[in-house]
Amino acid sequence: LKKTLLASVALGMLVMAPAASWAADYTIRLSHGDNENNPTHFGAQKFEELAEKYTDGRVDVQIFPANQLGTEQEVAQALRMGAIEAEILYTGNLVPLAPSVGVMMLPYAFTSNEEVWAAMDALKEPLNGRLTEEAGVRVLGYFEKGFRVLTNSQRPVETMEDLDGLKIRVSKNNIAIETFKAWGLNPIPMAWAEVFPALQQGVIDGQENPYTTSISSKFYEVQKYITEIHYMIWSGPLIISEQFYQELPPDIQEALNRAGEEAADYQRIVSGDLTEEAKTKLVELGMVLSGPPKDEEKWQAAAQAIWPQFYDDIGGEAWVTEAQAVMQQAIQ
Ligand code: MLT
């Protein structure tokens, strides 16, 4: 892993950065794993605009989309070492490095986007107390892209039995792996950067990600069926290297926090609009969409029954209890 990481970081350094037209005091390379027509990228652009504005140009933000600097987990490791400054990534790809953020990932914990927004905002400070220690990163703002939906190339999935034998990719964390196991599958954990070719070559039959990702990653070319399984919302922090952050003067830190929060507010709204558009477009492109599984309670019961199994992986039961109290209060 170390070798790949260093190679990726070195590669990242070689990628030509867009030249700033002014001399900034600080440069922030902001990495993410999505294409430029994904809501993650629109949020990144908003952050760039606001961070440069609120710092009067003393900060230059340069965005590197589509895993150009390495996979989501590799870049998060590079942030810890201060080799890259910032990243937006799926919570599920951060949790192996920063277990405490896993409280955002308990299956079926949230029923709407708005609940997740309130929870993410209320957790920002308590999480920063922990993530700086666990992974050497801090959250500037928390992005959201709606429910992760299941896509596959083989058949409509309307009941748990329809999953039988499907080769489904999940992100590389225990929560996703064990949840799919609880539904009777043997999921295939795989880095996000490898998913499209694996679908194309038939190494896997399906995957789960938000509707907008099926558009931006062109999954409609290699997938036929979508099921709204409602088990998890794509939440993703905009994180900054703690080492880099601590070298910044307080006024720049404050400006970056403000820019991160406002970029998140903007991204969540844009994402909601694009999700609705994506649903229509995916049908036009030939995909078959179905609602929640007919036996959704069965999926829910199986996934919720294994929550306690995750507590050790996400910071311990005391933290889970504390975080849930903070989230509940924010949601009410
Ligand atoms: C994943 O499935 O690994 C992520 O959701 C990809 C992403 O960050 O968009």
Segment 30-49, tens digit of pLDDT:
999 999 999 999 999 999 99
Q: Which of 61, 235, 242, 236 shows the shortest CA–CA distance to 138?
A: 242
* Residues near 274 by beta carbon (within 8 Å), at least 6 away in sequence: 39, 212, 215
Name which residue sits closest to atom 7 of ligand 1, judged by CA. Answer: 90
Residue 332 CB burial class (10 angstroms; 0-12, 13-18, ≥19): exposed
Residue type, position 297, single letter: E
Closest protein CA for atom 4 of ligand 1: 90
pLDDT-derived band at 9, boundaries 50, 70, 90 = very low
pTM here is 0.93
Average pLDDT estimate for 236-244: 98
For residue 32, which atom of ligand 1 is closest to its CA?
8
Average pLDDT, the chain: 94
- Does residue 144 line the site of ligand 1, with CB under 6 A? no
pLDDT band at 7 (very low <50, low <70, confident <90, very high): very low
Q: What percent of the chain has pLDDT over 90?
A: 92
Q: Secondary structure of the chain in the HEC alphabet?
A: CHHHHHHHHHHHHHCCCCCCCCCCCEEEEEEECCCCCCHHHHHHHHHHHHHHHHCCCCEEEEEECCCCCCCHHHHHHHHHCCCCCEEECCHHHHCCCCHHHHHHHCCCCCCCHHHHHHHHHHHHHHHHHHHHHHHCEEEEEEEEEEECEEEECCCCCCCHHHHCCCCEEECCCHHHHHHHHHCCCCCEECCHHHHHHHHHCCCCCEEEECHHHHHHCCHHHCCCEEECCCCCEEEEEEEEEHHHHHCCCHHHHHHHHHHHHHHHHHHHHHHHHHHHHHHHHHHHCCCEEECCCCCHHHHHHHHHCCHHHHHHHHCCHHHHHHHHHHHHHHHC
101, two tokens: 């953020």
- 234 CA from centroid of ligand 1 (Å): 8
Atom number in ligand 1 closest to CA 234 = 5
Query: Smallest Cα–Cα separation from 181: which of 299, 316, 296?
Result: 299
List phi, psi (to 5°) of 172. -85, 75
189 Cβ contact partners less than 8 Å away, ≥ 6 residues apart: 169, 170, 171, 172, 173, 176, 177
CA of 171 to the centre of ligand 1 (A): 7
Residues of the chain above pLDDT 70, percent: 94
Say if ligand 1 is within 6 A of residue 31 CB.
no
Q: Is the C-beta atom of 45 inside 6 A of ligand 1?
A: no
Span 133-143, average pLDDT: 98
CB-facing half-sphere around the CA of 80: CA atoms within 13 A: 17
